[in-house]
Chain A
Amino acid sequence: MGRPQSVPRRTAQAAGEPMLRVEDLSIKFVRRGQEPTIAVDSISFDVQAGQTVGLVGESGCGKSVTALAIMGLLPPRGNRVEGEIHFDGTDLLSLSDKQMRDRRGQELAMVFQDPLSSLNPVVPLGVQVCEVLERHKGMRHGAARRRSAELLDKVGVPDPTRRLDEYPHQLSGGMRQRALIAMALACEPRLLIADEPTTALDVTIQAQILALLKELVTESGTALVMITHDLGVVAGLCDQVNVLYGGRIVERADRFELFARPRHPYTNGLLASIPRLNSPRGQRLKPVPGSVADNIPWQVGCAFSPRCGAASELCRAEAPHLERDEGGAGHEIRCHHPVGRPSESADDARSAQDE
């Protein structure tokens, strides 16, 4: 509230300010009589207009919570959010509920994971698309309906006028997700957060949806935050990738750098666990051993150390900092023992364990 909000919209950007700047964002879940759970721990990242930034990590690493915090959709009770989320020069965390509500759908939008449950099952699709336009653009019903049909057409829903009268259960999964994207983009938001938008879809539809998102982002200059656990999605879409583990960013690089030279053992583990078409028959997949539950708090040491082949006493005693990697441009890692060359990474980790 105290922060001046009069920063003119476009000047901030002209000065090279990113569209979205998340700074030292921490989110704690507090319960009475219990230690707070730290879901997100001092995360910082930038998203430029027209850029796609990925947040990657397994379940429970804080990706979705970060997205909800940016959108101002965390439940009003039971959590504590610290840090700053600057959107176009305004700290979103300082805004009132009403100011946030006016921005949601208008300037910030979000696409969720499960397209069926994200649509209201008892209301025809058209009403749901029109609702956004009527709410933010003040459109009359007729105009909103025409615009809705245009939007559905744009995202590749066939026969859009007829779809407007149909209920979500009458649409296929891919079409539902297209409709949700149309709703999210209805008011041409400048930031779109996609929270695992393709997880509930089959592979062919997934490719179509990703292509659509990419096209829309490039076309309109919308900043896109892509939340996923799927490195394939990252490879196809993201300009910049943040790998999260246990609520902290453990590695950050642009996509070519990340795939060419993953330095963090966790990133390496994720890459090594992807099944490959050209691997010999009968070869077992290499999972990252253990589960997210096997971690130690970052305050004590490296949260990944219990699952890490390269972990040493140092890792368990002292948490590493996010440091610039000397090799790559803009490559940052949080590790005491970064992995060398990518191809041997997993084997390195294994042999280190054997010693």
Chain B
Amino acid sequence: MGIPNGPRTWAESKKKRIDTLAASAGRSGRGEGAGDGPGGPATGEAGALKGAEGVSLLAAAWRRLRRNAVFLIGAAIVLVFVALAIIAPWIAPHDPAGRILVDQIRPSNPIPQPQPGFPLGGDSSGRDLLSRLLVGARQTLFVGVMATLGGLSGGVLLGTLAGAFGGPIDSLIMRIVDVMLSIPALLMAFTIAAMFAKPTQWTVIMAIAIVQVPIFARLLRGSMLAQRRSDHVLAARALGVKQAPIVIRHMLPNSFGPVIVQATLVIAGAIIDAAALSFLGLGNPDDRSPEWGQMLGKAQEFFNTFPHLAMWPAACIIVVALGFTLMGESLREALDPKSQR
């Protein structure tokens, strides 16, 4: 009775606690070895509730993930690109907007060849391709992440309303979602992006975010409905807990796992969609700040003669999308309740 979880896990949990402690940033661990990994160093203050959940959820997932090769590969890819995106302005060998090689361009040879100092050569405007790829990572990742966050917020709001209230509100929201889902995603993104007279990166972000909203809304509503019928929500209601804390404290945090997984997967899709929009000229037209999809679009007229111009940004898009997808898939496995315990 007195010993929780059994001593079998103690030694293991001690090791785990080192990780979780690191995650909880200086919060003092308890001396006794009875706690089992994930929730160990959580706080009890209501104010720190959000933080405590975070530690618990993330720590539990991390415990599983750090031995998962697929996740580590995905995470490594993503981290490399994020790091490159952050430090791009400092490591780019040349100004991505500077037409340094423009004097090499002539009608017989419109694309400057790779040469010392310009390992990938230049583009059709005489700008350094490598520098543009590096700096382009910034823009591309920013658009992907922001579009996903936008879609996530909208979807979480709608899904929460639908799942928490049920009945006519749920029906109304879900019919809207159904209509949005019945239009092919990319087509809808094009339509939304094309509605703006002057495309900027923000119109791209908005177009892709709106397309993601119904996916997140439907996903969250599904798990909210499951939560609504769950035992612990019934138990909380049996204790007289009011509707708002039931939704916010008891239903939402428990419904969030699939949404987090979906978000990582959606980032990959968002990057590809943003590239597609830019490729079709619905993205940011200002090519002084490069973006992979836009580079791809510019490269199409030279595709037969100089395929490398398209290969490089395409490869970057594929690899980054792959990285996010690998992360998302392994996260899905890690958060899957069936693989737990």
Residues of A with Cβ closer than 8 Å to B?
Answer: 71, 73, 101-106, 109-110, 112, 114, 117-124, 126-128, 130-132, 135-136, 141, 145, 158, 162, 164-167, 169-172, 174-175, 180, 183-184, 186, 205, 208
Contacts and interface: CB of A to CB of B under 8 A. Distances in A.
A183 B242 CA distance: 16
Contacts of B239: 104-105, 109, 131-132, 135, 183-184, 186
Given A122-B53, A123-B53, A162-B32, 11 more contacts: A109-B239, A120-B232, A124-B43, A131-B236, A131-B239, A132-B241, A135-B239, A167-B39, A170-B36, A175-B4, A184-B239
Contacts of A162: 30, 32
Nearest to A166: B39
A114 B43 CA distance: 26
Nearest to A158: B2
A118 B52 CA distance: 20
Contacts, number: 125
B249 A171 contact: no
Contact of A105 (B42, B45, B240, B250): B240
A73 B253 CA distance: 23
26 contacts: A103-B240, A104-B239, A104-B240, A105-B239, A105-B241, A112-B238, A120-B250, A121-B232, A122-B56, A122-B254, A123-B249, A123-B250, A124-B52, A127-B46, A127-B249, A131-B241, A158-B2, A162-B30, A165-B43, A166-B42, A170-B4, A170-B5, A170-B36, A175-B4, A180-B235, A205-B1
Interface in B53-81: 53, 56-57
A73 B239 CA distance: 11
B56 to A, nearest CB: 6
A25 to B, nearest CB: 18
B44 interface: yes
Interface residues of B, number: 39
A135 B240 contact: yes
A170 B35 contact: yes
A136 B245 CA distance: 14
Scoring B49, B231, B249 by chain A CB atoms within 10 A of each residue's CB, the highest score goes to: B231
B5 A136 contact: no
A71 B254 contact: no
B235 A102 contact: no
B238 A73 contact: yes
Contacts of B44: 124, 126-127, 145, 164-165
B240 A172 contact: no
Contacts of B3: 172
B38 interface: yes
Contacts of A71: 238
Contacts of A165: 39, 42-44
Contacts of A171: 4
